[in-house]
Amino acid sequence: MIANIVETCVRKHTGGEEFFTALDLRLKDRTILCSLLDEVLKFQYPEVESMGLVVSGKFGQFVSDNSPTGNILHVSGGLREDKPLEIIRHLEDTECKHFIFLDDSFYSGKTRDTIKEYLESNGNTLLETFVVYDGSKEKDENVHSLYRYYK
């Protein structure tokens, strides 16, 4: 399913913002979200008592609207474009100190890095990043994806 979406977007857009805008629009799918959340559940952190999800932008809103968990920190989008990070939705569990970042796509890591800096400046930890589409040329061991463009 994801491979077909990527292939369609590659045919229509050679890359850049147009490609990611088209891709991100098509990745807002409940079946894909369930697959992404299933991947998160496979990871075990025995030393972590509570863990929250951190999401951003429109995909973050989609996750917030369709996720079975309420422990989601939703921040503003546009972080890869240097827009300021703003909190849209606070966590239900205010004691939570460990987070997993969920996003639709990953390329340079700028959004993830901005969120990580924000979390760490508030005494929190970003454990892992889970994305639907990973388009980065270099594989990052802390980024887990349902689809990776570069093998």
Q: What is the pLDDT of residue 33?
A: 93
Encode pLDDT of 59-118 as tens digits: 999 999 998 777 899 999 888 788 889 999 887 767 889 999 999 999 999 999 999 999
pTM of the model: 0.90
Q: What is the pLDDT of residue 99?
A: 94
Q: What DSSP state is assigned to residue 56?
A: E
Q: Which two tokens stand for residue 96?
A: 């939570």
Q: Does 46 score more than 80 pLDDT? A: no
Residue 13: domain span: 2-148
Q: At what angle do helices 2-12 and 16-26 cross, to 10 degrees?
A: 150
Contact 104, 75 (CB under 8 A): no
CATH number at 48 reads 3.40.50.2020
What is the number of domains present in the chain?
Answer: 1
Q: What is the pLDDT of residue 63?
A: 93
Distances (CA, A) of 21 to 25, 27, 28, 143, 149: 6, 10, 12, 20, 16
Q: How far apart are CA 40 and CA 12, in angstroms?
A: 31
Q: How far apart are CA 80 and CA 70, in angstroms?
A: 26
Tokens 């700028």 belong to which residue? Answer: 110
Cβ neighbors of 61 (< 8 A, separation 6 or more) are 55, 74, 88
